[in-house]
Amino acid sequence: MIVHKFGGGILKSPEAVEQLARILADAQRPAVVVVSALNKMTNAFERVVHAWHAGGDPEPEMQLIRGFHYDMACRLFSDPDPAFDRYLKPLFNSLQALLKDEPPRMFDKAYDRVVCYGELLSTALLRTWFEEKKLPYVYWDALDLVVTDETYRDAGVLWDETCRKVKGKRKKEKGDELILTQGFIGRAVSGDTVTLGREGSDFSAAIFAYCLDAEEVWIWKDVPGILTADPAEFDETRKMDELSYHEVIELAYFGAKVIHPKTIKPLQNKMIPLWVRDFWHPEGSGTRIFNLQAQPPTGPVFIRKRDQVLISFQPRDFSFIVEGTISEVFAQLARYRVKVNLMQHSAVSLTICVTADMDRINSLIQTMLPKFRILYNGDLELITIRHYTQEAIARMTEGKRILVQQLSRRTARFVLG
């Protein structure tokens, strides 16, 4: 069995849906197909939940979302109205009823209740397409199968329960049909819908692969494989043909966008190879990630994270930064779920670099102010150079103000103003 994952960035047009069908027609069966929300729909649903939670009117954004999906139906189906009514319309009706209720007080809980509809709608569209084209498939609702804790917006998978459900579902429906399901979403033991973190559909593909003992996972992107830099950020990039699990874990941890950070470990545990392949050129060689014993030379690999904030904590009582102080700061970071991208400390100051989620950061600062003097800089970028050279460092830092730099044997990191 192969698990395929198709991201929303490529599912943006009828031509993309047709290309997906061509890829699956040539694919080895049986196969699991994991899909994300359609192009930019997660961002649109985030705007809906912000309006709903703030007591505003989400309807203008909802009209855009409905319009996008209806336009896709019009361009895909000769008779779009009954096609739209089959699976899409009931979901929109359900969401409309939800938005008439009072939102939960906790924003993250409200977020997960609304944003999950992006994936539900994308699979609804594909179900209709498969049926119109008479492609045999079975539908799996990820909300019924992926069991998690109640960490809203970044849920942790309960592996034993999830595998029990997935294997039980597969046992009942053995056959060669394609299995269509969603990425990014699951259900907490409490019954609440949850999401697995932004770009979490990669992780969903790994979850299904792990539970089903899949032969391989194929993640389809609009790039030829994993590159030495994001082509949207850098002009010169090279494809890396083979990478070890360890190397990709490092790249994902440092912020490389091509793979969700949680994806690799479940695959590594069962030695399931992962391919990153070109959606529009499936004949290409792609990048294979597997149990590679010795990572071949790649040259410098560049990762840029924008919208960074540098925060320094200095104890007001002039005490040193010791284990107790660090643990106190990190307890509050965990409380407000502020993820640290880089950390450095001196005798009297602890400095962290985080992504600019200002609601969480402001709550953190207000809590810490009684005991700490706090300084911060915004509008920064964090540059990571894996397998760095002096030439690569000079290229990325020339003319920039370096606020923090860290060098290890293989990795150079800089916070730049």
H-assigned helices in 12-158: 14-26, 41-53, 59-76, 80-100, 107-115, 117-132, 142-145
Domain-wise residue ranges, the chain:
2-221, 301-416
Q: Tell me if 2-221 shares its fold with 301-416.
A: no
Mean pLDDT to the nearest integer, 189-210: 95
What pLDDT is stored for residue 198 in this prediction?
A: 84
**Cα–Cα separations (whole angstroms), residue 298 to 107, 241, 253, 395, 410:** 42, 9, 18, 17, 12
What pLDDT is stored for residue 119 in this prediction?
A: 98
Mean pLDDT to the nearest integer, 348-361: 94
Per-residue pLDDT at 111 exceeds 70:
yes
Looking at the DSSP bridge assignments, the partners of residue 315 are: 372
Per-residue pLDDT at 48 exceeds 80:
yes
In whole angstroms, what is the distance from residue 333 CA to residue 328 CA? 9
Per-residue pLDDT at 187 exceeds 90:
yes
Cα Rg, the chain, nearest whole Å: 23
Per-residue pLDDT at 375 exceeds 80:
yes
**pTM for this one?**
0.92
Mean pLDDT of the chain: 94
> How buried is 60 (Cβ within 10 angstroms: 0-12 exposed, 13-18 middle, 19+ buried)?
exposed
What pLDDT is stored for residue 174 in this prediction?
A: 72
- CATH for 2-221? 3.40.1160.10
In whole angstroms, what is the distance from residue 206 CA to residue 219 CA? 10
What pLDDT is stored for residue 255 in this prediction?
A: 87
Mean pLDDT to the nearest integer, 139-145: 98
Structure tokens at 219: 């993640």
What pLDDT is stored for residue 177 in this prediction?
A: 82
Q: Strand ranges (DSSP E) for 175-244?
A: 178-182, 185-188, 193-195, 216-221, 242-244
**Cα–Cα separations (whole angstroms), residue 65 to 9, 121, 194, 283, 397:** 16, 10, 21, 33, 41
| CATH entry 3.40.50.880 includes domain 301-416 | no
Per-residue pLDDT at 71 exceeds 90:
yes
What pLDDT is stored for residue 28 in this prediction?
A: 66
What pLDDT is stored for residue 83 in this prediction?
A: 97
Per-residue pLDDT at 170 exceeds 70:
yes
What pLDDT is stored for residue 54 in this prediction?
A: 96
Instruction: Tell me the helix, strand and coil percentages in the chain, rounded to 5.
Output: 40, 25, 35
DSSP reduced 3-state for 366: helix
- 19-23, 255-259, 313-317, 352-356: which range is least confident on average? 255-259
**Cα–Cα separations (whole angstroms), residue 155 to 159, 200, 328:** 12, 10, 24
Q: How far apart are the first and last CA of the chain?
A: 48
